[in-house]
Structure formats: C-alpha cells, structure tokens
Chain A
Amino acid sequence: MTYVVTEACIKCKFQDCLQSCPATCFYEGENMLVINPEECIDCGACEPECPAEAIMPDTAPDAAKWVEFNRKYSALWPNIRKQGFVPDDADDWVEVEGKLEEHFSPAPAAR
C-alpha cells in the first residue's frame, strides 16, 4: 500500500507535501515529485497538503499505472527532504490537462 503522485504535480511542484511526510520518501525530478512505494508508510499525511490534489492512494481508480510510474522514477531521481525552489508560475499549471504528454521531464532534478 502506498500513496502516489500523479500528473497534476507536473510543473507545479509546490512541495507542500514534503513537510508532512514522516518517511522522507519523495524523489525529485526536474518538474515533478514522485513517492517511493517501498518507503511510503501509507499514512496519508501528504494527500490533503497538495494544492494541486496530485496525490492519491493506490486504491483510487486509475492508480495502478501511477504506482509503476512512481516506482520507476523514484529509483532514478534524488531524494528530497526539504522544500526547495518552487517555480514562479506553479499556480498557472494547476488546472492544465494533458501535462504528462506535453510537459513531463524524465530528467532528475539538477543538484
């Protein structure tokens, strides 16, 4: 059981979710975060904190593909413990659809 980050996070990356995570299981890509399903303790603390409502439990409809997505990229991206740089235009991207096809970057966050 795990929570997963979904498409809505792309280019938002507000990172409010990090503060509440007891297990420090978020990983940072260039324009998105993901959760490591092996480390997540399924406590749900991050879900209500996300302004983009990007986080959902793996029991939600559609979640299966996101579990694989989160698993894949958490292995490739660096761990993020504390809020870092939030893009200036984060708010503009909350409502945008189809971000996965158009805007997702598989690159790890630059460190």
Chain B
Amino acid sequence: MTTGHGPGPKFAIVGAGPAGFYAAEALDIECPGAEIDIIERLPTPFGLIRAGVAPDHQTTKTIQDAFEQIAQRPNVRIVGNVEVDRDVTIAELAQFYDAVVLASGAPDDAPLDVPGGDLPGVYGAAEFVGWYNAHPDHAGLEPLLDRDSVVVIGNGNVAIDIARILSKSAAELATSDIAAHASERLAQARISDVHIVGRRGPLEAKFTTVELRELGELEEAVAVAESHQIPDAVGSDLSPRDRRVKGKNLECFKSFAQADPSAKARRIRFQFNARPLNVLGNGRVEAICFERTRVENGQVTGTGETLEIACGAVISAIGYRARPLGGLAVSATGDRLTNTDGRIAPGLYVVGWLRRGPSGKIGTNRTDAEEVAALIRSELVVGDKPGLAGLKPLLASRNVRTTDYVDWKKIEAAEIAAALGGEPRRKFATMHEMLAVLGA
C-alpha cells in the first residue's frame, strides 16, 4: 500500500456508502493520478447497501462488487473505523487534502411529532431497519413485536420493506442476511396484520411497482387494499412518466382490493388518506389514532373523521434527518447540508443523500457524484498536501485503530464462514465482534 506524497491531488471522501464510492470513481476519472481516501466510521463499508437495502434483496446488494472494484484501485484506500467529528475534524482533513467530499448520508429518523410519539413501541425506520440489518448502532433495539398488529407509517419503499420483513415466513427469510437477533425475535412474534398507512392517496404514494408486486407473491401474507380508496384510473393531469408509473401501481392496488383477506394466515393492509393524530397506550403502544384526510390542490387537509388501529408497535418511515457534521449548516428541511450544486465552501463538497436529501435510488448517487466531481476538477487548486501520510500519524497519536479494505475482507470471510443453512452470511452486529476478527 502506498501512503504516498505523490504529485497528484489528494482527496478525502467522508462515508463509504454509494455516494462515497461513486465520488471516488468519478474523481479518479476526472483527475487521473489522484490519491483518494474514503474515511468510514464503521469497519464495514457500503453504507445503506449493507445497512438499509432489505436483507431479502440480495441481488440489489451485489452492487457491492462494483464498489469493491473501486476500492481495489491502487490509488483508492478505505480508512475505516474513523468517525469524522469524533476522531478527526473536517478542518484537520482540509489541512491534509486538496478537497474534502462529505458523503455521510442522512442517518437519523425524522421524529413522529404527535402525542405519544415517544411511547415504548414507537420506532423510526432508521433504527428498525438498522436493527434487522445488524447495524451496530441499532443492534440492541429489541423492538416490541408481541402483539397481532404493527402499524407502519409512510408511503415509500422503506415502508414496504419493513412490512415485508415483518410478514415473511422463516423459510422465506432463510436465504436472506437478516441479523440473527432479528430472525429469532421475528420467529417468536405472532404478527398477523401489518398496516401501511399513508397521509395521501394511492396515486401520490412513492412506492415503485416492483416492490408492490412483490407483496402480491408472499407465502404467508396477502396484500389487501380497500376498494373504495382505489381510483379507477390515473389523472390526465400527470406527466407521461407519472401516468406510466402510477398506472402500473394502480394495477397492483386494484388486485390488492380484490384479494381475499383470509386467503393466507397474515395480511399487509394498505390504508390511505390518514394522518397520525396520537399514539395511545399505558406505558407502551396499544393503538394509534389517525385523522382521515383529503388531498386538495396537492395539499393534505383533515376531515375531522378519525380511525383507530389497535397495535403493539408503530414504525414511522416518514423520512430521515442529516447530522450537522462539523457544525455545518443543515437545510431548513433538516435532511441535507446547505450547499450549492454540491459546494459548501472552497475545497469542501457534499454528495449523495447529504447533498440532495434522502430520496433516490442507488444509481441516483452516481449521476450526483459525477456532477460534483466535475465541479471539483474545475475548481481544484493542488497544494503540496500530504494526504494519508499526514492523516495516519494524527490518528495514531489519538489511538485510533484504523481498518482498511483487507480488514473488511477478513470480516466478510468470517461472516460467510459463520453462515448457517441458506444464509449468504451471518452478520456481526457489534463493533467489538468485528474488531475481534482483526485481533484488535
């Protein structure tokens, strides 16, 4: 491994998720000869590919292979187990690197801001998904899944992922890499009904058709919708793209509205036009109350009519929040850093969810990173910066045990070796276990 102090530009990327990898690739193309260090707080790279994308969507996770090819380029290095703000500051990185690119995502849940929203049994999607995907921050969640019903609030693919994981049989999950603690808890749970509740109607929902269709093909659960909530056709005011996409979603909802709720042992129930009023319960979640809504001119208004659903847990998948890394300004929406086309300050840039907010698929981050890399090249001033040769001694002086790509492969090999039955791997859920593999 070169810890060079070569003549090329030195780039630090903060966060080894999709945006970080695409930024590394794009900078390598834009600025040949650059040395690129990807700083990541976990010893395991890939961000939400590992910790967000559903454990039963293994083919989507194979994008990891493309990122590994980037990681193996001789001028690209992963500097893992290093958390910016805790172990090193952005100002320090700026001393060592010609440009710093922030790619640390939007990892926190938008709060469910209603009375009772803090009762035990209310979870945010980031923590719940992190729990079933063995993210070390959330592995200890121990969610209450001891009643028949769970309510998932939100109308995006994350809500569908959560409902599907809660509704799949042990056999269906056997080929996933769901955290062992989660599959055990789900096997003990006896959830019969998962309600997916959205503020707006079926045509405003952000689900993709592929995810909806999958709900129609589950072994033990049937997807159901209420026919009076499903319109006959999509509006003619939509763009051609929306008409196409919403039209396909509508076909799914229509078939769900025809489905027999007792056809299988469990149900995933779509409930539209309802916004949360308050979570009810004595010391824990026992029910949640919604107000019926109407959408007028794109605005959601309450009708005064209410709907109560008895449930043991509420999972809100209503969006994410960015962290104010380095004390930098967060946008008014709370979900990204304030930036102009990816630029925060001279030499300081942002890509991915932290730039655009938490929406878009994996590939959206590629186009995003390519734009910012072109901007970086156009503004680049190459000083005599040391890059990793400067950063390493500083981290060592602070007793930070950094990990690299080879370490990740050792952790991965241990996870694959520990897999049982049809599992692709058995994930470590704590930093301690990961570092133990490395003898640290």
Contacts and interface: CB of A to CB of B under 8 A. Distances in A.
Contacts of A23: 63, 66, 363
Interface string A45-58: 10111010100000
Contact of B209 (A21, A24, A48, A82): A48
A20 B244 contact: no
Interface string A33-47: 000000101111101
Q: Which of A1, A24, A41, A47 has the most CB of B within 10 A?
A: A41
Contacts of A105: none
Interface residues of B, number: 22
B228 interface: no
B262 interface: no
B362 A45 contact: yes
Contacts of A41: 59-60, 62-63
Contacts of B361: 20, 22, 43, 45
A42 B244 contact: no
Given A44-B208, A48-B248, A53-B244, A20 B363 contact: yes
A1 B18 CA distance: 22
A42 B363 contact: no
Nearest to A2: B59
A51 B240 contact: yes
Q: Which of A20, A22, A44 has the most CB of B within 10 A?
A: A22
Nearest to B249: A48
B127 interface: no
B59 A22 contact: no
A49 B244 CA distance: 9
Contacts of B335: none
Interface in A2-29: 19-24
Nearest to B66: A23
Contacts of A51: 240-241, 244
A48 B363 contact: no
Contact of B363 (A1, A22, A39, A82): A22
Contacts of B365: 22
B210 interface: yes
Contacts of B362: 22, 43, 45
Contacts of A42: 59-60
Nearest to A21: B363
A49 B210 CA distance: 13
Nearest to B59: A42
B177 interface: no
A48 B242 CA distance: 9
Contacts of B59: 1, 41-43
Contacts of A24: 66, 366
A85 to B, nearest CB: 18
B62 A19 contact: no
Contacts of B63: 22-23, 41, 43
A24 B366 CA distance: 9
Contacts of A47: 209-210
Interface in B181-219: 208-210
A93 to B, nearest CB: 15
Contact of B18 (A22, A49, A81): A22
Interface in B250-283: none
A42 B61 CA distance: 10
Given A22-B66, A22-B363, 17 more contacts: A19-B363, A19-B367, A20-B364, A21-B366, A22-B18, A23-B363, A43-B60, A43-B63, A44-B208, A45-B361, A45-B362, A45-B363, A47-B209, A48-B209, A48-B241, A49-B241, A82-B370
20 contacts: A19-B363, A19-B364, A20-B363, A22-B66, A22-B365, A23-B363, A41-B62, A42-B59, A43-B59, A43-B63, A43-B361, A44-B210, A45-B361, A45-B363, A47-B209, A48-B208, A48-B241, A48-B248, A51-B241, A82-B370
Interface of B: 18, 59-60, 62-63, 66, 208-210, 240-241, 244-245, 248, 361-367, 370
Closest A-B pairs by Cβ, 9 of them: A22-B363, A22-B362, A44-B210, A42-B59, A20-B363, A48-B245, A45-B361, A41-B62, A43-B60
